[in-house]
Structures are given as structure tokens and as C-alpha cells.
Amino acid sequence: MDNRPTLGLGANGAFAQFTAIRAKNAYRLHDDISFEIAALSELTTVALHAIDRIGLTLGDTVVSVGAGPVGLMMAIIAKHAGAGRIFVTGLEADAERLDVARQIGAIPVCIDREDPKEVILGLTGGLGADVVFETAGVATGVIQAMDVVRKGGRVSILGQGHQSTEISTAIFSFREIEFVGTRAYTPRDWDRVSVVLQNTREDLEKVISHRFPLEMTEKGIELMKTKKGLKIFAISLETIR
């Protein structure tokens, strides 16, 4: 679908007390899924769609370029989809996020301290990753993805950056690399998200960095703007009761 507005992005309503949506866009989650984990359902469907698009297979070595919420979600869902070794790359400023990557079982790589190509090729027998998810949305992230993917590997572009990226097209043919674009999710991803949330919630809890009462929503937005924390929740205590 070419015209795909979402609440808060192309359609008003994200900050309204009540919002009307189409009935077909409402999906029921299992009763034992908490409000907080349920709030991660949209991000989870993004990861599910990306994994389907790239064709992740059991035991694949995976790299997530970028240690933000999308990057860490890709690591979590790839882990539960049967990936083998998983790497997450980030900056010095992402130290806390890279620590979360370690907690979920991934290998963190700080690119301000070490060369990700050297680290990843060194730990994969010089081969590189089978699958790379570019989630940072910057030109340097795409170049980094090309550096660490193996011959015949696949690169998934999730990060929706606004910069131009110069890549030698000869690399694609010489190394037989596949580039796959990914946008959002499909109804199929929403149909299965409830089960996925149940199976991954222990890891999903680790990406929740802040919890505020609803009246402190503005503080949460400021933290988001300054890239502090990961998923920041402002929750109405009345809703929880």
C-alpha cells in the first residue's frame, strides 16, 4: 500500500485521550501479557517482518548495525528465531545500550573503540555475517553493513535515513550480496505477535529503560530527543488498576 498513514505520523490522534480505529486493525493479545510488553508489539512486528523478508535461517550469524530500540529488537527476535552468533554495533554514546545487547546474549561492538569489520570477521573465521540488519538509518551504517556481510550474504535495510549513500555496485556482483528493503509490517505479523511477545518477554523487559506516571510524559519525550534510555513509558496508574 503506497498511502499508509499511521497515528501520529500522517494522521492525528496519537496524543488524544480516546482514538477511533478500524475494527480490523485491533488485535487481541493474550491476557497474561502486561501493558508494558504489549506496548512493544508494534516494534516486534517490525522485527518479524524484517526477518521474514531477509529469509533468516537456523544458525545464521547476524549483525545488527545500530544499538537503538530497533537494533536491539532485531537482535532479540533473531535470537528467538534461531540465529546463531549475534553482534550489535554502536557508538561510545551507546554504552548502556550495548550492555543491554550483552544481557540478551549478543556480542556488543563499540565502533569508537574497535573496528567492527576486524572484530566480526575475526570471530567468524574471516567469513563475515550471513545476515546484517542496518537499523541506524545513516550512510555510514550501510557502509558498515557491506563491510561485515559475507560473500553471498544478505543485508536488510530497516533504517530510514535521509542521506545519500555511495556504494560501488560492482561489490554486489563480485560478492553476490543481496540488499532487501523492509518497511513496517503486514497483517500476518500482527496475527502472530501475541505468541511472540509471550515467548520473548524476558528479553523484551530489558529494552524498557524508564517508567514515568502519565503527567511526566514530557520528560520522557525529552529523554527520547536526547537519545537517553531506550523504550520510555509514561503510564496512567488508573489504566493499570
Q: Which has the minimum average pLDDT: 33-47, 159-173, 198-212? A: 159-173
- Contact yes or no for 74/64 (Cβ under 8 A): yes
pLDDT surpasses 90 at 117: yes
pLDDT at residue 36 tops 70? yes
| pLDDT for the residue 159 | 86
Quick: pLDDT tens for 81-110: 999 999 999 999 999 999 999 999 999 999
Burial grade of 162 (CB within 10 A; 0-12, 13-18, 19 or more)? exposed
Q: Which residue, chain included where needed, has cell 532485531?
A: 74
**Where in the chain are the domains?**
41-181
Per-residue pLDDT, 234: 83
Rounded distance between C-alpha atoms, residue 66 and residue 137, angstroms? 9
Classify residue 165 as exposed, middle or buried by CB count within 10 Å of its CB (0-12, 13-18, 19+): middle
Q: At residue 6, does pLDDT exceed 90?
A: no
What top-level class would CATH report for the domain 41-181? alpha beta
Backbone φ, ψ for residue 84 (5° rounding): -85, -115
* Predicted TM-score (pTM) of this structure: 0.91
